[in-house]
Structure 1
Amino acid sequence: MNPNCEQARPFLDTVIVVEDDPIIRLLVKDILDEIGAKSVLFSSADEAYDYLLGTHAHCPLVIVDQGLPGKIQGGEFIEMVRAKWPGVRSILTSGYLLEPATIPAYVTYLQKPWSPGLLIATITSLLNRKSRALA
């Protein structure tokens, strides 16, 4: 077990993962499983947004790659989700260096390759920040 998993609090909601690389998508799922989070996986933001529009489940976090197939790219997806559900936290990842000025302050950016420990710490920090804001 990853020692960082012990720091993660239990999850009650589903995390949306949007990643076109099937290996990375399954790695993120495995990490989320290890910390007790449920996840729904998508290879395109178009599919993920349609899913979110059609479901009434609460989603506290989206983890999204920037470069995706389809019409909607990662940053655009995050903006669309935030406009409709302002409380949803977001992690944007990319294998390409993104210009820091193009990343909104409300988005957490992880440059690939990130470590599983960094992803777990980032998820925990974001969701704990949300919990404190609601208290």
Structure 2
Amino acid sequence: MIARGERKLSLKGDVIIVEDDDLLCNLMIEILSDIGVGCIAFGTADDALIYLLQSHRACTMVIADHSVPWQISGSDLAKMVKEKWPDIAVILTSGHELNASKLPPKVWFLQKPWAVDSLVSTVDGLLNPSS
């Protein structure tokens, strides 16, 4: 497991964060920036999906809160991402327990409140599976 600031990840794209809690969103951006991850944040899954469909920038991971507001939930976004872009790693977060059998295939679940080390090790493990 890597500690904050101990190791930098080199990625070929950004991590998209979908979180409607500004404090938590900013915390994730700070944590991931500390390990060298570029982040783009959205308050709704709808906005994140539009960005993914229209952007020509590479995306390596999506971290989405299960219950963000608007029309598309974080779970819906996770499913759409895995169907259209199967190589993009996806982490779904929630303050509620989610049934693992209801998660889209190859989507990781991170229970809130998560520890900083849990977020970092999950991101690192998905983006660097051989390390």
| The two structures share one fold, judged by TM-score above 0.5 | yes
> How far apart are the structure 2 equivalents of 1:75 and 1:87?
17
Q: Give the match for residue 78 of structure 1.
A: 78
**Offset at residue 104 of structure 1 (A):** 3.0
Coordinate RMSD, CA, aligned? 1.5
| Structure whose residues are more often helix by fraction | 1
The runs of 5 or more residues in structure 1 that have no matched partner are none
Between the aligned residues of both structures, percent identity stands at 39
Q: Give the match for residue 48 of structure 1.
A: 48
**Equivalent residues, number:** 129
Per the normalisation by structure 2, the TM-score is: 0.91
**Offset at residue 98 of structure 1 (A):** 1.0
Q: Give the match for residue 107 of structure 2.
A: 107
The runs of 5 or more residues in structure 2 that have no matched partner are none
> How far apart are the structure 2 equivalents of 1:110 and 1:37?
18
Does residue 92 in structure 1 map to residue 92 in structure 2? Answer: yes
Q: Verify the 8 A CA contact 1:63 1:91 in the aligned structure 2.
A: yes
SS at match of 1:97: coil
Per the normalisation by structure 1, the TM-score is: 0.89
Residue by residue over 1:35-91, the C-alpha shift from the partner in whole angstroms, topping out at 9 and shown as x without a partner, is 111100000000000011110111010000000111100111011111211100000
Q: Give the match for residue 26 of structure 1.
A: 26
After TM superposition, where is structure 1 displaced by more than 3 Å over at least 4 residues in a row? none
